[in-house]
């Protein structure tokens, strides 16, 4: 797995899970206690979020962390 895939998989999963729940980036950011810009950067593969941020996003999406990394 290369660096692009490492960013692409969670980016796609965050976007898909967020859309499935019909949440905006702003809603996820508020629930996770992070900035909306940070959610956007993660979804657009421009950010390497910390483990703490990944956990916050998973919690806001009501899912397990490993679900964000499933190909």
* Residue 1 pLDDT > 80: no
pLDDT bucket at 6, cuts 50 / 70 / 90? confident
What's the mean per-residue pLDDT of the chain?
Answer: 95
Q: Where are the domains of the chain?
A: 3-66
- In words, the CATH class of domain 3-66 is mainly alpha
Burial (0-12, 13-18, 19+ Cβ within 10 Å), 37: exposed
More confident residue, 51 or 4: 51
Dump pLDDT digits (tens) for 28-57: 999 999 999 999 999 999 998 999 999 999
């Amino acid at each position: 797995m290369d660096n692009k895939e490492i960013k692409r998989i969670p980016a796609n999963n965050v976007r898909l899970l967020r859309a499935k729940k019909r949440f905006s980036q702003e809603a996820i950011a508020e629930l996770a206690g992070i900035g909306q810009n940070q959610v956007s950067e993660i979804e657009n593969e421009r950010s390497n979020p910390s483990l703490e941020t990944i956990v916050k996003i998973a919690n806001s999406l009501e899912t397990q962390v490993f679900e964000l990394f499933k190909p």
